[in-house]
C-alpha cells in the first residue's frame, strides 16, 4: 500500500510569474513582464507531471546466514519495479537491525527503474552474537518533477543468526573420574586409539585385536584414550586494574572477561564438566563447581551482578589495602582438590602471573584466557602493549598456557589458534 504525498513544489513558478509580471507592469519593462512566461512554464510543468503509483518487490540475500561473531557479512538487496510504468526516482532504505553495524557501503540506495527493471546494491555488516531479523525495507518513489512521492514498505524476511559457540576449549588434563569430553593419557573407554597391550583374561572380547591375532596368532587388547569430565573453576579477574579499555567506546577488560567467562561456563557445562566460578579481586563471590541448568543460572546471575568490593581487607594505618596473598589463600581454600582453573584476566600487572604460579604449585592446573585490550595506535599504547606482552611471557614462564584473545575475533578463533600452537 502506497502513501502518496503531493506537494505544491512548482507553485513557486506562479509566484515568480506574478512577481515578474507585476514588476514588469509597474516598471514599464516589457522584458521583465515577458519573463513571467518562464515562471508559468515551470508551473505548468508541475501540473503536467502526474503522480505515480508504483509497486516494488524487494529481496535480500546474505553472504553467510550463520556467521560467527565478528565476521563481516555482505547483504545484497535487489529492488524490482513491479509496476508497468517508469519510476524516475526510487529511494530504498534497508531495514538493518539496530544491533548490527554497517561497516562498508550504505544500506540506502537510489535508482531510476523502468517497468520490470531491477537494481541491486550491497553493503557489509559486522555480525554480532544473537539472532537478528531485518526490518522491512522502506521505499520512496518520486515522479520526475519531484512534486509527488509514494511511500511504501516491502517485506523481505531475512534473519542473521550468529553463533556464540566457543568451540573446543583446550582444558588441562586434570580430570575427575567421570566420563566427559576431556581426553586423558589413560587408556580405557573412548573413541580415539590409545595403545595395544597384552590380553588379560578380564578384558572384554570386543576389545581384542582380531586382525592382529589372525596375522600373528597373538592375543592383544586395544585401548582407547579415555575421555573424562573435569572439575573447572573459572576465575575472573575483576580488580580495578582491569578497568581498562582499548578505546573509549569499547568495553573494558572486566566486561570482556565476564563475557568470556559466561561463554566458557556455558560450554563447559554442556560438555558434562563440573564448573564453578570465582571473582579474583575485591569481591568474595564464589560458586562451587556443579552441574545442571540451575547451576548454570546461578553462575549467570553471579556474572551479571555487580562486582563491588566485598572482599576481606586488612587495614594499615587507616588505609585500606588488599593483600595479594589473601586473595590466593582465599581461592585455594575454596578450590576443590583436583579442580583445574581457567583464569580469565587481562593481565594488567604481574600479579596474575604470580597467582597462577602459586595455584599451580597448590596442585591446580591453570589455563589462562587473556583479553587483549592493548593497541598500537599511539606511541604510548604501543609501549603499553610491549609491557603487556612481557607480562604474558612471564605467565607462560610460570608454566601456564595462555590463550590471548583480541575482542576483534571470536573466542572460537582464539581457542583454535592456541590449540594449533600447543600441538606443535
Partner 1 sequence: MVEVTDAYTFDGSRTAFGSKTAVVIAAVAATLLGVSAGYALQTLLGVVGGVAFGYAARDVAQEELRARIRGSSLLMVASVFVVAALALEKANAVDAVLVGAIAATMGVTTLAALMDPDEAVRPVFSALSRSFLATIAGTLLAGALYANLFSNLALGSWTLFALVLASTPMAGFVALQFEFVLIGLLAGRAGRAAATLEPSGNPEDVDVVGVRDVPAGLWVLLGIQVVLLAFPGGSGPFEYLLAVAGPAGAIAAAVLSNLYVHAALLVVLAVLVVLPVVAAVRRSAVAVFGNRAPKTLAFATGGVALSVVVVLVSSIPGFDGFVTWLAGSDSAVTAVVDLYGFGPGVLGGVSGVLVVMGIGLFFYMAAFALPFVPEHASGFVFGAAMLFVAAVAGAFAGAPAPAVFVTMAAAIAVWDVGEYAVEFGAEVGRAASTRSVEAVHVIATVAVGLAAVLVASLATHFFVPLMTAVPQDRAMTALALLTVALVGFAYLADTGSDGADGS
Segment 28-47, which members bind partner 1 (CB under 8 A)? 29-32, 34-35, 37-43, 45, 47
The distance of closest approach from Cβ of residue 256 to partner 1 in the complex, given in angstroms and rounded to an integer, is 20
Task: Using the minimum distance from each CB to partner 1, give the nearer residue, 38 or 386.
Answer: 38
The distance of closest approach from Cβ of residue 373 to partner 1 in the complex, given in angstroms and rounded to an integer, is 23
The distance of closest approach from Cβ of residue 57 to partner 1 in the complex, given in angstroms and rounded to an integer, is 18
Decide if residue 98 touches partner 1 (CB under 8 A): yes
137-166 residues near partner 1, rule: CB under 8 A: 138, 140, 144-146, 150-151
100-139 residues near partner 1, rule: CB under 8 A: 100-103, 105-112, 121, 125, 138
**Residue 291, by phi and psi: left (phi above 0), alpha (psi -120 to 50) or beta?**
beta
Task: Using the minimum distance from each CB to partner 1, give the nearer residue, 38 or 389.
Answer: 38
Helix (H) or strand (E) holding 189: strand 176-198
Decide if residue 18 touches partner 1 (CB under 8 A): yes
Mapped onto helix, strand or coil, the DSSP state of residue 289 is strand
Task: Using the minimum distance from each CB to partner 1, give the nearer residue, 31 or 205.
Answer: 31
Task: Using the minimum distance from each CB to partner 1, give the nearer residue, 56 or 405.
Answer: 56
Q: What is the sign, positive or negative, of the torsion defined by CA atoms of 407, 408, 410, 413?
A: negative
> Which of residues 80, 91, 298, 332 is near partner 1 by CB under 8 A?
91
The distance of closest approach from Cβ of residue 62 to partner 1 in the complex, given in angstroms and rounded to an integer, is 16
Query: In terms of Cα–Cα distance, which of 159, 157, 218, 227 is closest to 190?
Result: 227
The distance of closest approach from Cβ of residue 395 to partner 1 in the complex, given in angstroms and rounded to an integer, is 37
Backbone angles phi, psi at 394, to 5 degrees: -65, -40
Decide if residue 74 touches partner 1 (CB under 8 A): no
Task: Using the minimum distance from each CB to partner 1, give the nearer residue, 158 or 274.
Answer: 158
> Which of residues 12, 361, 383, 389 is near partner 1 by CB under 8 A?
12
Decide if residue 314 touches partner 1 (CB under 8 A): no
CA distance 137 to 125: 16
CA distance 256 to 23: 72
Grid cell, residue 28, equals 514599464
The distance of closest approach from Cβ of residue 123 to partner 1 in the complex, given in angstroms and rounded to an integer, is 9
Query: In terms of Cα–Cα distance, which of 271, 256, 237 is closest to 342?
Result: 237
CA distance 60 to 77: 5
Decide if residue 95 touches partner 1 (CB under 8 A): yes
253's CB contacts (< 8 A; 6+ apart) are 237, 242, 243, 244, 245, 346, 348, 371, 373
Within 82-175, strands assigned E span 87-95, 101-104, 108-113, 118-126, 130-133, 135-142, 148-154, 159-162
- 381-390 b/e with 16+ CB inside 10 Å = b? beebbeebee
> Which of residues 89, 252, 285, 416 is near partner 1 by CB under 8 A?
89
The distance of closest approach from Cβ of residue 23 to partner 1 in the complex, given in angstroms and rounded to an integer, is 6
Amino acid at each position: 500500500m502506497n502513501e502518496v504525498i503531493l506537494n505544491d513544489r512548482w507553485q513557486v513558478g506562479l509566484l515568480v510569474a506574478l512577481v515578474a509580471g507585476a514588476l514588469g507592469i509597474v516598471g514599464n519593462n516589457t522584458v521583465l513582464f515577458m519573463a513571467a512566461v518562464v515562471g508559468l512554464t515551470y508551473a505548468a510543468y508541475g501540473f503536467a507531471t502526474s503522480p505515480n503509483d508504483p509497486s516494488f518487490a524487494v529481496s535480500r540475500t546474505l553472504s553467510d546466514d550463520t556467521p560467527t561473531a565478528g565476521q563481516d557479512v555482505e547483504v545484497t538487496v535487489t529492488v524490482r519495479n513491479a509496476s508497468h510504468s517508469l519510476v524516475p526516482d526510487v529511494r530504498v532504505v534497508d531495514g538493518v537491525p539496530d544491533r548490527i553495524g554497517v561497516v562498508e557501503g550504505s544500506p540506502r540506495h537510489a535508482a531510476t527503474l523502468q517497468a520490470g527493471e531491477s537494481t541491486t546494491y550491497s553493503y557489509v555488516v559486522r555480525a554480532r552474537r544473537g539472532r537478528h531479523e531485518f526490518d522491512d525495507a522502506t521505499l520512496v518513489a518520486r515522479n520526475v518533477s519531484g512534486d509527488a512521492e509514494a511511500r511504501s514498505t516491502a517485506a523481505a524476511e531475512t534473519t542473521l543468526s550468529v553463533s556464540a559457540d566457543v568451540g573446543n576449549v583446550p582444558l588441562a588434563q586434570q580430570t575427575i573420574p567421570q566420563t566427559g569430553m576431556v581426553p586423558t593419557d589413560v587408556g580405557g573407554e573412548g573413541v580415539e586409539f590409545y595403545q595395544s597391550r597384552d590380553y588379560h583374561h578380564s578384558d572384554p572380547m570386543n576389545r581384542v585385536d582380531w586382525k592382529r591375532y589372525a596375522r600373528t596368532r597373538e592375543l592383544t587388547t586395544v585401548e582407547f584414550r579415555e575421555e573424562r569430565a573435569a572439575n573447572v573453576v573459572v576465575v575472573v579477574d575483576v580488580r580495578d586494574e582491569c578497568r581498562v579499555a582499548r578505546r573509549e567506546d569499547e568495553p573494558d577488560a572486566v566486561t570482556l572477561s565476564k563475557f568470556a567467562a559466561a561463554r566458557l561456563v556455558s560450554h563447559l557445562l554442556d560438555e558434562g564438566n563440573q564448573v564453578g566460578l570465582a571473582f579474583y579481586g575485591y569481591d568474595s563471590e564464589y560458586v562451587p563447581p556443579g552441574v545442571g541448568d540451575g547451576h548454570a543460572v546461578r553462575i549467570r546471575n553471579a556474572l551479571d551482578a555487580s562486582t563491588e568490593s566485598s572482599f576481606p581487607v586488612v587495614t594499615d594505618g587507616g588505609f585500606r589495602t588488599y593483600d595479594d596473598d589473601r586473595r590466593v589463600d582465599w581461592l585455594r581454600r575454596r578450590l576443590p582438590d583436583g579442580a583445574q582453573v581457567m583464569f580469565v584476566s587481562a593481565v594488567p600487572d604481574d600479579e596474575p602471573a604470580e597467582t597462577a604460579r602459586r595455584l599451580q604449585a597448590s596442585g591446580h592446573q591453570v589455563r589462562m584466557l587473556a583479553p587483549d585490550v592493548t593497541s598500537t595506535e599511539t606511541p604510548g599504547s604501543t609501549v603499553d602493549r610491549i609491557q603487556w606482552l612481557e607480562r604474558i611471557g612471564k605467565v607462560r614462564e610460570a608454566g601456564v598456557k595462555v590463550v590471548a584473545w583480541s575482542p576483534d575475533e571470536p573466542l572460537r578463533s582464539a581457542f583454535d589458534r592456541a590449540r594449533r600452537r600447543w600441538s606443535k
